[in-house]
Chain A
């Protein structure tokens, strides 16, 4: 037996918190998106199935799924959907919502790269490429990090030699001039988003 409730509470939650979530209820379950998705054989739930799970009230299963994290934004589903649903946007929106609730799969690589990128960017307003690369190399532990570094050694040295990467960035690297302004912009954006979702 399932954990589905076939009540609207989770659907309403998605409508309130997920970009374009209000369109989930319009899905007519034709299966065109499932058939169109190039990731079809590789993920656990097609968009069609995720939408039905939302309508069936399967909250935990949806939010802990790694399916929406695998979306590559090819837009094939949007092009073909007979109901013109913004499926790609909903998939990313679901991923974002799961992340905010801290329910996303712990070791999901897409989530990891997104988080590291964002944290790196938001500190100074500039991406520190050296630190970002090192963080990616060592995200699965020191041993794996060493292996990754050795594997990419040639590329790294090539970049240094070409002047595209500076070892000195380990000491901080370049920044935006107005650091306070950066922080205020990010805070304001979050405030606007929360207000739009009725959370503030």
Chain B
């Protein structure tokens, strides 16, 4: 087993298979590796990824003391299992990056060979700056317990799922009993066939199971007072004075119903107009008998109004209420209509809907209600008037006429509003003022945390998880289910999107499984999504730090706090290894073992830049390894052709691009620099949330530097590239080369 205390010994291995040896001068590549790359061992093999080829490398590691490898073969994204060694490894992409994209024919032999030689130079230079990541030896999970915040259906399910899987759970509930919103339900919508009748909620049984489970500790009438630390070692202070250590957190704080007093046009606040929660109360009071209004009169006719205050301009409002559909309300209204019909079939029961939404097998439930005599009609309600006799005015969309229905009681299906905690944009604005000395802002910040915050994180970037549009808790960022931008924290249930009890239970189980995964990753010193299993971690040479705070503010995952001297305090267990902190740092003190300013900078400097008389431009491409670099590889796979003058370097994220690379490249005589990253903006595709956005922002600030170097703005470009853009990426490159040739060679050529 290699370790980083061994004397480093560098080796290069060149594969001549897949046509590389037929087209490129492998002997020349070997010379480059030996003389310029300073590799102690240089070998080639016609089938490097074969058992024999891999054995060749393993022997050198075991017997020759090789610690660092440069593999010049196919793309780093290919043969990852074969080329997995206990050594620092760089990959020079000769197949997808040279052989398959440079135009065929002897006319291109010279530029093709030069391209390949540069990639060998780059690979050798890169591996010299690497060390083998072994995982942070300081990381360990002090606790494998899972904290569940919220004791409703979602929270109880998450706690049971974790406990039944063998992990301890700590369940914190603000109220004095388990059950949450479901505690007030008389019955629930059925989850299983035949989907015909409302069924008992089963909440009491679930709560009893939670309370008696040996691996679940329940804290009632309790909230979180503070959460500090990091995955595997969160230190949680509770409002009851207890201090607990947990490894991961599931936020299951549920929802509140949209308030009736915001719906005056639908009779909110008026007599005998209630919402679904209010009807549960009336039904519960009836205790199986006739359902009565608050004035004691038995209800003989009832109208349910769906989409009350929901779905924006598509609903009853004009965008002034909730813009989204809460999903569960139609099935809930069907259930409640059945309360009436089951008690007395003669009660006139009408459901006014705009689109009847009964997800899952709710179609059977709807049909069952019709069998009982519930009347459904498609109508857009304009006004509800409460009182001794209520009136619902609506446009009947089947009969196509203005209509009115009288009823003893009107039930509005208002929506779910998530209990997600503090909105970080709001918090950041207040915090900025407070840090600037504003006393009113300081009080406002304290009140915001005390009254609204759920997790009360002591994170630099705010006390709760980020939120989505409409205030839902973070979840499912980019294409990773459940992942949030706060490592080892998972939102579940209606706190993250509207859902019913069935969906909430399934969701809670998933969140509990993710929490377990996060804890195990910490125990094994690995990163979480998207760079799962990455063993590298950030280090900072604090002696060079200028306390500018860019890394703490720009980290997409809130991994970096500030210590009492305002130096960055890294919480490696929170880190996703994107390198945004590295890109942010103006004095370049942050690095990873196998990815740093030096590993990329040395590659840039290793390229042989011809002088201006050779009429051969050199163009640097910094390609995000998540989307852009795969697109480049795919272009090669499909034998698309682009210019042999580009030199592509994969980066973890555009957010990790330090501007020193750009200025170094331009200073070295590169004619242009193009950065390729994922889509930015509201529907971003950046795998690290905002790296792409940061790159665009930082690049927009580079104008002054370019002026000082007497360089045109066009020599630096940032492009959005999706993984499916292989044809487009070829066009981008070739157009860029043509554009740069018009500009002429860089005036920095010849000085390098």
Contact = CB atoms under 8 A, between A and B. Distances in A.
B370 A28 contact: yes
A48 B370 contact: no
Contacts of A56: 377, 396, 399, 403
A168 interface: no
Nearest to A48: B398
B451 interface: no
A49 interface: yes
Interface in A138-174: none
Interface in B350-374: 350, 366-367, 370-371, 373
A55 B396 contact: no
B567 interface: no
Interface stretch (A6-14, A73-81, A107-115, A178-186): A6-14
Contact of A6 (B346, B398, B403): B403
A2 interface: yes
Given A6-B375, A26-B370, A49 B401 contact: no
| Residues of A in contact with B, size category | 20 to 34
A72 interface: no
- Which of B348, B399, B402 is the most central at the interface, judged by chain A CB atoms within 10 Å of its CB? B399
Contacts of A11: 373, 375
A1 interface: yes
Interface in A15-31: 25-26, 28-29
Nearest to A58: B399
A55 B367 contact: no
A53 interface: yes
B303 interface: yes
Given A7-B348, A8-B348, A1 B404 contact: yes
Given A29-B376, A49-B398, A56-B377, A6 B303 contact: yes
B404 A25 contact: no
A39 interface: no
Interface string B396-410: 101101111110000
Given A26-B370, A26-B371, A7 B399 contact: no
B334 to A, nearest CB: 13
B385 to A, nearest CB: 14
A4 interface: yes
A52 interface: yes
B45 interface: no
Interface string B379-420: 000000000000000001011011111100000000000000
B605 interface: no
A83 B367 CA distance: 9
B680 interface: no
Interface string A28-70: 1100000000000000000011001101101000000000000
A8 B375 contact: yes
Nearest to B401: A2
Contact of B399 (A4, A25, A28): A4
B588 to A, nearest CB: 66
Most buried by B among A11, A56, A83: A56
Given A1-B402, A49-B399, A29 B348 contact: no
B409 to A, nearest CB: 14
Contact of B375 (A48, A49, A55, A58): A55
Given A2-B402, A7-B301, A56-B403, 17 more contacts: A2-B404, A4-B396, A4-B399, A4-B403, A4-B405, A6-B377, A6-B403, A6-B405, A7-B348, A8-B346, A8-B348, A11-B373, A26-B370, A26-B371, A28-B370, A56-B377, A83-B367
13 contacts: A1-B403, A2-B401, A2-B402, A4-B396, A4-B404, A5-B405, A6-B405, A25-B375, A28-B370, A29-B398, A52-B396, A56-B403, A58-B399
Q: Which 10 A-B pairs have the closest CB atoms?
A: A6-B405, A52-B398, A7-B348, A55-B375, A2-B403, A8-B348, A6-B350, A26-B370, A4-B403, A2-B401
